[in-house]
Structure 1
Amino acid sequence: MKLLNSMLYRDRLIVEQPIRLPGLTHRLAQEAVEFMEESVMESKPFFLYLAWSHTHTFLATAKEFEGKSRHGRYGDAVEELDWGVGKILEALDRLSIENNTLVYFTSDNGGHLEEKGVNGEVDGGYNGILLGGKGHGGVDGGIRVPGIIRWPGHISQNMITDEPTSLMDFYNMVGMTTGAAQPENMTLDGENILPLLNGITNISPHKFLFHYCGDEIHAVRYRPRTGSKTYKLVYKMPDYLPGTNRCHFICGCHSALVLEKPLLFDVTSDPGEKSPLPSSYPGYSDILEAIREAVAKHKSSIVPVESQFTARNIVWRPHWQDYCNFPKCSCTDPKYA
Structure 2
Amino acid sequence: MKHILPALAALLFLTAPLRAADTPNIVLVFTDDQGYGDVGCFGAKDFVTPNIDKLAKQGTKFTDFHVSQPVCSASRASLLTGCYANRLGIHGALGPNARHGIHANETTLAEVCKSRGYATGMVGKWHLGHHPQFLPTKHGFDSYFGLPYSNDMWPEHPEAKKGTYPPLPLIENEKIVDPNVTAAVQSQLTQRYTKHALDFITAHKSEPFFLYVAHSMPHVPLFASEAFRGKSKQGLYGDVIQEIDWSVGQILSALDEHKLADNTLVIFTCDNGPWLSYGNHAGAAGQLREGKGTVWEGGVRVPFVARWPGKIPAGSVCREPAMTIDVLPTVAKIIGADLPKTKIDGKDIGPLLRGEPNAKSPQEAYFHYYNTNELQAVRSGKWKLILPHTYRTMAGQPQGKDGTPGKYKQVKIEAPELYDLDADTGESQNVADANPDIVKRLLAFAESAREDLGDSLTKRVGKNTREPGRVPEEKKPNPQRQPNPLTPFPKKEGGTEPNAEDTKQSETVLSPSPLGGGVGEGFLPPFPLGRGSGG
Whether the TM-score (by the shorter chain) exceeds 0.5 is yes
- Find out whether 1:210 has 2:367 as its counterpart: yes
Three-state SS of the structure 2 residue aligned to 1:199 is: coil
Which runs of structure 2 are paired with 1:67-216 in the superposition (5 Å)?
67-116=230-279, 122-136=280-294, 138-183=295-340, 185-200=341-356, 201-213=358-370, 214-216=372-374
- What is the letter of the counterpart of residue 290 of structure 1? R
Aligned residues: 306
- Find out whether 1:297 has 2:448 as its counterpart: yes
Do 2:168 and 2:179's aligned partners in 1 also have CA atoms closer than 8 Å? yes
Deviation of 1:239 after TM superposition, in Å, equals 4.5
Distance 1:179 1:89 in 2: 25
Q: Which moved more, 1:13-22 or 1:263-272?
A: 13-22
Three-state SS of the structure 1 residue aligned to 2:210 is: coil
- What is the letter of the counterpart of residue 208 of structure 1? A
Name the counterpart of 1:269: 423
Three-state SS of the structure 2 residue aligned to 1:261 is: coil
Query: RMSD of the alignment, in Å?
Result: 2.9
**Given the superposition, is the C-alpha separation of residues 250 and 165 from structure 1 closer, same or farther in structure 2, using an over 3 Å criterion?**
farther
Distance 1:159 1:266 in 2: 24
Q: Structure 2, unaligned stretches of length 5 or more?
A: 1-154, 157-164, 454-463, 474-478, 499-504, 508-535
Deviation of 1:264 after TM superposition, in Å, equals 0.4
- What is the letter of the counterpart of residue 170 of structure 2? L
Deviation of 1:256 after TM superposition, in Å, equals 5.9
- Find out whether 1:232 has 2:384 as its counterpart: yes
**Given the superposition, is the C-alpha separation of residues 332 and 32 from structure 1 closer, same or farther in structure 2, using an over 3 Å criterion?**
farther
Name the counterpart of 1:119: none
1:187-216 CA distances to partner (integer Å, 9 max, x unpaired)? 321111110121223321122110110211
Distance 1:322 1:304 in 2: 30
- What is the letter of the counterpart of residue 182 of structure 1? L
**Given the superposition, is the C-alpha separation of residues 220 and 308 from structure 1 closer, same or farther in structure 2, using an over 3 Å criterion?**
farther
Deviation of 1:300 after TM superposition, in Å, equals 2.3
**Given the superposition, is the C-alpha separation of residues 166 and 246 from structure 1 closer, same or farther in structure 2, using an over 3 Å criterion?**
farther
Three-state SS of the structure 2 residue aligned to 1:265 is: strand
Name the counterpart of 2:180: 18
Distance 1:131 1:215 in 2: 22
Deviation of 1:245 after TM superposition, in Å, equals 11
- What is the TM-score normalised by the length of structure 1? 0.82
1:209-242 CA distances to partner (integer Å, 9 max, x unpaired)? 101102111111111xxxxxx0110013524366
Do 1:218 and 1:237's aligned partners in 2 also have CA atoms closer than 8 Å? no
- What is the letter of the counterpart of residue 288 of structure 2? L
Name the counterpart of 1:227: none
1:254-302 CA distances to partner (integer Å, 9 max, x unpaired)? x562x3320000011111111111523xxx2221222122222222233
Deviation of 1:250 after TM superposition, in Å, equals 7.1
- What is the letter of the counterpart of residue 322 of structure 1? L
Q: Which moved more, 1:61-70 or 1:299-308?
A: 299-308
- What is the letter of the counterpart of residue 288 of structure 1? V
- Find out whether 1:61 has 2:224 as its counterpart: yes
- What is the letter of the counterpart of residue 222 of structure 2? L
Deviation of 1:326 after TM superposition, in Å, equals 4.6
Distance 1:300 1:273 in 2: 28
**Given the superposition, is the C-alpha separation of residues 323 and 16 from structure 1 closer, same or farther in structure 2, using an over 3 Å criterion?**
same
- What is the letter of the counterpart of residue 271 of structure 1? T
Distance 1:22 1:35 in 2: 22
Deviation of 1:13 after TM superposition, in Å, equals 1.4
Identity %: 32
**Given the superposition, is the C-alpha separation of residues 95 and 241 from structure 1 closer, same or farther in structure 2, using an over 3 Å criterion?**
closer
Do 1:17 and 1:332's aligned partners in 2 also have CA atoms closer than 8 Å? no
Distance 1:109 1:308 in 2: 24
- What is the letter of the counterpart of residue 56 of structure 1? H
Distance 1:319 1:250 in 2: 37
- What is the letter of the counterpart of residue 77 of structure 1? V
Name the counterpart of 1:322: 486
Three-state SS of the structure 1 residue aligned to 2:419 is: strand
**Given the superposition, is the C-alpha separation of residues 234 and 329 from structure 1 closer, same or farther in structure 2, using an over 3 Å criterion?**
farther
Do 2:385 and 2:418's aligned partners in 1 also have CA atoms closer than 8 Å? yes
Deviation of 1:249 after TM superposition, in Å, equals 5.0
Three-state SS of the structure 1 residue aligned to 2:322 is: coil
Distance 1:212 1:173 in 2: 23
Distance 1:239 1:16 in 2: 36
1:41-94 CA distances to partner (integer Å, 9 max, x unpaired)? xx3211111111221111111111110001000000011111011000110111
Three-state SS of the structure 1 residue aligned to 2:281 is: coil
Which of the numbers 232, 243, 253 marks the counterpart of 2:396? 243
Q: Structure 1, unaligned stretches of length 5 or more?
A: 117-121, 224-229
Three-state SS of the structure 1 residue aligned to 2:209 is: coil
Three-state SS of the structure 1 residue aligned to 2:227 is: helix
Deviation of 1:321 after TM superposition, in Å, equals 3.2
Distance 2:284 2:215 in 1: 18
**Given the superposition, is the C-alpha separation of residues 285 and 193 from structure 1 closer, same or farther in structure 2, using an over 3 Å criterion?**
same
- What is the TM-score normalised by the length of structure 2? 0.53
- What is the letter of the counterpart of residue 196 of structure 1? L
Do 1:234 and 1:263's aligned partners in 2 also have CA atoms closer than 8 Å? yes
Three-state SS of the structure 1 residue aligned to 2:379 is: strand
Deviation of 1:14 after TM superposition, in Å, equals 1.3
Name the counterpart of 1:29: 194
Name the counterpart of 1:226: none
Deviation of 1:246 after TM superposition, in Å, equals 8.5
